[in-house]
Amino acid sequence: MQIASPANPRIKAIRALRQRHERERSGCFFIEGIRLVAEALQTGAPVETLVVAPSLLRSDFARALVVQAQTSGIPLLEVSEAVFSSLSQKEGPQGLAAVVRQRWLRLEELRLGPGDYWVALHAAQDPGNIGTILRTADAAGARGVMLLDHCADPHDPQAVRASMGALFSQGLVRASFAAFCRWKAETGCPVIGTSGQATTDYRSLRYPLPFVLLMGSEREGLSPAQQASCEQVVSIAMTGRSDSLNLAVATALVLYEVFYQQRSL
């Protein structure tokens, strides 16, 4: 039976996932678009409900995804074009969306393998940056992202869009910085930080594996105490009048230096 009213309780519950408090309460988040839904299904993400507006489905690939989901036993919620538009935050809705359960790893249980590297973000506030870092981490071979203290939500719609599906292939951890320091001491995992005041250029360091790249917030960077917790702190050379780089850009530069170092071996 197709739902035709935007006031339907199930539709209102899905729409509420735009709010962080509801995502945290329910443990779910909303994705939309053929590419994101395909990534979720192909990576085995815990899709709880597939939302479909048949009148908007114009892609054979999208229709095949619906069949795949049904074959896998994923519940299907069929809605009208108007109802789907009430859920969508995209221009030109594609008629395919999903409610997905969040997946988090426990920091205290995390052990890095011989070739692993992770990104840890302290108090990163821009969901777009977090999504972009997830996408870059996936591309550069990192295993996941740790969100320390009060970070933006990686399941925020802006972060989900910016991740371009990497949210489903990267590990996610959330913890306090104090817990991160305890984990570091227990596992002996090296941590490399960044600071504009560091004297070591990021390209001159031979990065150990495994390790964690620790990045500070957009406004403050890493505090002196946080830098002191690192085995090494590196800087990115800059000219011109800008005194800092965007957090996602700075993270990408270091991750790709690690990537190229490993490839050269």
Where exactly are the structural domains of the chain?
Answer: 9-101, 107-264
> Which residues, including other chains, have CB under 8 Å from residue 68's CB and lie 6 or more apart?
41
- Domain covering 9-101, topology: 60s Ribosomal Protein L30; Chain: A; (3.30.1330)
Tokens linked to 213: 């790249």
pLDDT in tens, 121-134: 999 999 999 999 99
In this predicted structure, what is the pLDDT of residue 123?
97
In this predicted structure, what is the pLDDT of residue 201?
98
Phi, psi of 49 (to 5 degrees): -150, 135
In this predicted structure, what is the pLDDT of residue 141?
97
What distance in Å separates the CA atoms of residue 19 and residue 121, rounded to the nearest whole number? 22
SS3 200: strand
In this predicted structure, what is the pLDDT of residue 56?
96
Supply the pTM of this predicted model. Answer: 0.95
What distance in Å separates the CA atoms of residue 121 and residue 145, rounded to the nearest whole number? 7
Query: Are 255 and 213 a contacting pair, CB within 8 Å?
Result: yes
| CATH architecture label of 107-264 | 3-Layer(aba) Sandwich (3.40)
> Which residues, including other chains, have CB under 8 Å from residue 169's CB and lie 6 or more apart?
39, 43, 138
Give me the residues paired with residue 212 across strands. Answer: 118, 191
Query: Are 102 and 27 a contacting pair, CB within 8 Å?
Result: yes
- Please provide the size of the chain in residues: 265
pLDDT in tens, 169-192: 999 999 999 999 999 999 999 999
In this predicted structure, what is the pLDDT of residue 90?
87
Residue numbers of the chain with a pLDDT score lower than 70: none
SS3 35: helix
Report which residue type is found at 72.
S
CA angle 147-167-23, nearest 5°? 70
